[in-house]
Amino acid sequence: MPATARQPALGFLETPFISITALACDAALKAGTVRLLGLEPIGTEIILSRFAGSTADLEAALAAAEERVLAAGSRVGAARLIANPAATLDQATEAPNSINPLYGGREYLLPTDYPQPMNNAMKQHAIGILETQGLTAILHATDAMLKAADVSLVGKEKIGAAYVAIIIRGDVAAVEAALQAGASAVGDLGKLIATQVIARPHEDFLALLPK
């Protein structure tokens, strides 16, 4: 009987908000040889990150992600590793992308969504994430960020419950200045959730974002 191909282990991590999830994914990808399969918002602030790799690499990746999240003053909702996933489990974890009709955000954030190649400048740049609860607040903050520093707008992501994040790109100093201006501009227009800077983010995470 021919040997059955071994399924890679799977890792799952639940974290709140795009901003915190980005930190977790970047830390996980830099800690071990794992692949980021995608992110799945569940309609509140919680986002499920899915990884594949060896059991040892996933253990290291999930531990690094949890440490990064706790250091940011946030929390990990759940972390789980499946060492020997069922051959057909991917039917429950993989699906074509679509736009959620309730909140207008992607049902899944997948590395296949934006297949254009990234140039070296994109890989060297930092990314900044400003996240609010409230659309008026995020638009006002985005205008302030783009006027305050030499940064470019990457895109906007919604995860439900009025949570929305704007992602910008530029050098670290410019991104930091832009986020400071954006955070100040939120004011009483909405709730500022977080601002995060990721210097030289991992290429696999960048693949989930518009170019």
Look at the chain and count its residues. 211
Q: Are 189 and 137 in contact (CB under 8 A)?
A: yes
State the Cα–Cα distance between residues 172 and 169, nearest whole angstrom.
Answer: 9
Q: Residue 25: which H helix or E strand, with range?
A: helix 18-31
The token pair at 9 is 């282990």
Note the pLDDT tens digit of each residue in 198-210. 999 999 999 998 8
pTM of the model: 0.90
Note the pLDDT tens digit of each residue in 173-200. 999 999 999 999 999 999 999 999 999 9
Give the mean pLDDT of the chain. 90
Domain boundaries for CATH 3.30.70.1710 within the chain: 9-93, 120-206
Q: How many CB atoms are located within 10 Å of the residue 211 CB? A: 14
The token pair at 135 is 């659309």
Q: What is the pLDDT of residue 2?
A: 43
Of 5-9, 125-129, 149-153, the poorest mean pLDDT is in 5-9
Helix (H, G, I), strand (E, B) or coil at 152: strand
Q: Are 158 and 107 in contact (CB under 8 A)?
A: no
Q: What is the pLDDT of residue 3?
A: 42
Any bridge partners for residue 198, and if so which?
127
The token pair at 84 is 């020997």
DSSP state of 103: T
Pick the CATH number of 120-206 from 3.40.50.2000, 3.30.70.1710, 3.40.50.1370, 3.40.640.10: 3.30.70.1710
Q: Residue 169: which H helix or E strand, with range?
A: strand 163-170
Strand order in the sheet with 191-198: 152-160, 163-170, 126-133, 191-198
Q: Which CATH number describes the domain made up of 9-93? A: 3.30.70.1710
